[in-house]
Amino acid sequence: MSPRSERIEKLKQISRERVLILDGSWGVMFQKRKLDEAAYRAERFKDHPGQLKGNNDILCLTRPDIVGDLHDQYYAAGADISETNTFSATTIAQADYELESAVRDINFEGARIARERADAWTAKEPHKPRFVAGSVGPLNKMLSMSSDVNDPGARLVTFDEVYTAYREQMIALHDGGVDLFLIETITDTLNCKAAIKVILDMEDEGYEPLPIWISGTITDRSGRTLSGQTVEAFWNSVKHAKPFAIGLNCALGADLMRPHIAELSRVADTLVSAYPNAGLPNAFGEYDEEAHQTAHELHEWATRGLVNILGGCCGTTPDHIRHVAEAVKGVKPRQIPERPKAMRLAGLEPFELA
């Protein structure tokens, strides 16, 4: 058994014993650094055209010290799993910065930095091993929805183009040493299916199999993803991948996310994750929910047996994660339900035939 396979088995064992803790927001922590354009460029991109400030993924190449320090902060706060800083590291997303050629390096270095810090923390605290999730974020182009209100069939990308973009990203993350893939903040299920196909194809090609974690986004109080699916329909659409975990993140604070997590907990026969925002943004786009407030909400979810993995999304900090980790310490994880066999399909709504 390879060292990575041993880590994966350990992760699965721990998930049966307690609630796992994911890290929190990366964007808000980079914003606190008040980095200027020069910090994003460094020597490698000093002559690159256009603005690079705000392209946080590029910091894996230009300021790896800051990226590594943020992993350290979240691991110190109690996170079991930290994500790579690669949320937008695909050729499709990086085209906005004309940095398609840097995509492999961003992902490989993002994974390498995270692996290095996780291993260092595991060596220091062997009773609490740390793990790395390869962050595979949504794209700025959707397969399920038209790009032109006057043409329902219009698309800016094809399935093959999305597949190719995700493939380059995930091979680099795999090579860099991640323990699992986290396909997150999914607004478009068809984009997600392209990412899933990449992972399944990689396994067929001989890459070491890694757990798949899928996290969708409910965009508003309607309880649907941006491409129109309910939570149960979303689960039915991706359950064929037999994911290690399924969950929701972003868009909503914990109070508004709770009913949707409860529904997912009811129907999913795998681990359920949740990492909400620190409430809803205020008029200035900032998040006001304090760490103890987030922890109070998520403690209730855990004690009600709704979740297996908890963390934070937009607006959350290492302090939020510290409070959440303390709040759920000793709480038993959700028990995975055994559901009767049935044909379960989905369009925008779920369909079940016993």
Q: Which residues are annotated as a binding site?
A: 250, 313-314
The residues with which 186 forms a beta bridge, in sequence order, are: 216
Kindly provide the b/e burial profile for residues 318-327, where b requires at least 16 CB atoms within 10 angstroms of the residue's own CB.
bbbbbbbbbb
Q: Please give the C-alpha separations between residue 100 and each of 53, 166, 168, 176, 177, in angstroms, as whole numbers.
A: 16, 12, 11, 18, 22
Q: Residue 172: name the closest of 104, 220, 93, 87 by CA.
A: 104
Tokens of 302: 């855990």
Phi, then psi, of 277 in degrees rounded to 5: -70, 165
Residue 139 · residue 156 · CB < 8 Å: no
Instruction: Select from 283, 274, 284 the least CA-distant residue to 316.
Output: 274
Token pair of 43 as six digits: 């020597």
CB atoms within 10 A of CB 122: 17
List binding-site positions for Zn(2+).
Answer: 250, 313-314
The DSSP code sequence of 134-149 is EEE---SS-SSS-SBT
- How many residues are present in the chain? 354
Amino acid type, 305: G
Pairing mode, if any, of strands 343-346 and 350-353?
A: antiparallel
Q: How does 248-279 read in b/e, with b if 16+ C-beta sit within 10 Å?
A: bbbbbbbebbbebbebbbebbebbbbbbbbbb
Distance CA 209, CA 60 (A): 25
